Amino acid sequence: MNWDNARRLLSFPSRKAAPPVLESSELPPCDPLAAVRARSLCIVSGKGGTGKSTLTASLASSFEHYGRALLVDADLGVGNAHLFCDLQPKRTLADVVSGKCSALEAVVSVRGQLDLLAGGSGCLGVASLGQEQMQRLASGLYSLEERYHSILIDGAAGLNTQTLGLAASVDLVLVVTTPDVTAMTDAYAFIKVLCASRPGLVPRLVVNRVIDPREGHAVAERMQAVAAKFLDLEIKLLSVLPEDRSAHRCTQRRRPVVLEEPDQPLGRALADLARRLEAELDQVHPHGVGRVLRHRLGRGSRTAAEVQGA
């Protein structure tokens, strides 16, 4: 089976079965008279510890310079985007999907043109979403799309219903991994399941926490080769980010690296990554993540385990 061969090439261990993922790969037809919707980017990783949230906080801070931006923390179990904004919101995305408030009521201002829809913390009842909760998530995002130029979604780490559904509905997906073999195997597994749900997607890749740039490029080339051979899939490398103590210092200060230490190697690399992503998003026609997710939810689902076994 292709997945077994790919795992051996990458020295990956077997992984446990994954949760449901939406099946439909079709985008809803565009209405030329419809309101302009925000461009959408979902930042994901196969596992925790890759520095994804640190990266996302800096990207969101950079994107506010291009127009009004919304950072959505889609982690309903251990969301932490609010920490990088030095905020403690009273309402979160967990309240939205539980029907306790509207998405607009949960949005808070961070600074300037940047807003936040915070994730949940210790919300066990909504850590993995059912159909009704996914519908509320989709409707909430749909209601916000006309208000922003860009929506950045910090997906919960790993294979879960909401992250896969969101990643399959955005304009651009950025996968974050590190040279660690477990991070690589989980990133590959996420890409495999996601692209089975959305054929034609070209994931963008960031290799983070790299000591030697040559190692980072070797990781990317390895993943690209296996994806091309066994998935017939292109993975586009966007950046190799250095291991940098500034990430730890800025986290302790609850500030994004690009604002707190912009002249450090990581700060400069993150600013460059933001510019590259902005240029890529400028080339897409935004369909609206909430609009697409609502469309997909209406067309049925299958499990990620079924996709992996295909």
pLDDT at 150 over 50: yes
- Closest Cα partner for 282 from 153, 144, 147, 171? 171
**What is the domain partition of the chain in residue ranges?**
2-9+36-308
For 304, the token pair is 């990620």
267 in Cβ contact with 256 (< 8 Å): no
Share of the chain above pLDDT 90, in %: 71
Residue-wise pLDDT tens digits, 94-119? 999 999 999 999 999 999 999 999 99
57 in Cβ contact with 188 (< 8 Å): no
Tallying the residues shown for the chain, one arrives at 310
Residue-wise pLDDT tens digits, 202-252? 999 999 999 999 999 999 999 999 999 999 999 999 999 999 999 999 999
CATH number, span 2-9+36-308: 3.40.50.300
Going across the sheet that includes 108-111, the strands are 108-111, 114-117, 69-73, 150-154, 39-44, 172-177, 204-210, 236-242
Measured CA distances, 182 to 9, 26, 177, 307 (Å): 14, 32, 9, 21
Verdict on whether the full-model pTM lies above 0.85: yes
pLDDT at 128 over 80: no
| pLDDT in the model for residue 114 | 97
- For strands 204-210 and 236-242, give the pairing: parallel
69 in Cβ contact with 114 (< 8 Å): yes
Q: In angstroms, rounded to a whole number, what is the distance separating the alpha carbons of residues 284 and 153?
A: 17
